[in-house]
Amino acid sequence: MRITVVRGDITTQQVDAVVNAANERMRGGGGVDGAIHAAGGPAILEDCIARFPNGLRTGEAGLTTAGDLPARWVIHVVGPNLNAGNTDRSKLTSCYSGALAVADELGARSVAFPLVSAGVYGWPLDDAVAAAVDTLEETPTQVEEARMVAFGDRAYVVLERRISAL
Ligand code: AR6
């Protein structure tokens, strides 16, 4: 699998699946979650309600339609909320390995990822990047491209450096 990085907005990526940094309620929110629901339209929320009546647990991954997005699917993950005291890094890495497992079930070949937990949930950028890139590198998968989407220059620089060092 190639790990690539682009600067930009995950909602415009032409990939089979985009990953959403959701919360346990799975009913939308701010950050990348808000952007994905806004751009994808109400079909995503309807599918969240139908498939996840009790939400999703931290560290887990689950699938919905991508609605009006260019992608075919959204793979929702819930990263640990460091700001609420959740320091369990294994819950962050399992977001990436779990998303790849869902992508493999779907036969998705290209998947775009945000930096899970690195926004509202307060995970330090350097370690959010290390967890993302190292887990993607180590996880066996049929996915051909994992595209990290950097929403900002600092995230881009840190991602680019980590990927180049592989
Ligand atoms: N495209 C790509 N990356 C983005 C975009 C975008 N359109 N918008 C933000 N990011 P966050 P979290 C980056 O806060 O920390 C929500 O309210 C952002 O710069 O979206 O896991 C949910 O509903 C950062 O690097 O997710 C949850 O309640 C990264 O995406 C909670 O926030 C993640 O930031 C989840 O917090």
ipTM above 0.90?
Answer: yes
Distances (CA, A) of 34 to 78, 126, 146: 14, 24, 22
- d(Cα 125, Cα 46) in Å, to the nearest integer? 32
Which tens digit of pLDDT belongs to each residue from 45-101? 999 999 999 999 999 999 999 999 999 999 999 999 999 999 999 999 999 999 999
Residues at CB less than 6 angstroms from ligand 1: 9-11, 21-23, 29-33, 35, 79, 114-121, 149, 151-152, 155
Which tens digit of pLDDT belongs to each residue from 112-149? 999 999 999 999 999 999 999 999 999 999 999 999 99
Q: Which domains are seen in the chain, by residue range?
A: 2-164 (3.40.220.10)
What pLDDT shows up at residue 129?
Answer: 99
**How do strand 2-7 and strand 73-78 relate by DSSP bridges?**
unpaired
Beta carbons within 10 angstroms of residue 153's beta carbon: 9
Look up residue 41 and give its two tokens: 């339209």
Burial grade of 117 (CB within 10 A; 0-12, 13-18, 19 or more): buried
Considering only CA atoms, which residue is closest to atom 27 of ligand 1? Answer: 23
What pLDDT shows up at residue 136?
Answer: 99
Closest-CA residue to 116 (of 58, 53, 54): 58
- 139's enclosing H/E stretch is none
Structure confidence at residue 44 as a pLDDT band (50, 70, 90): very high
Hey, which residues are catalytic here? Answer: 33
DSSP type of residue 65: E
Considering only CA atoms, which residue is closest to atom 21 of ligand 1? Answer: 117
65 contacts 41 by C-beta, under 8 angstroms: no
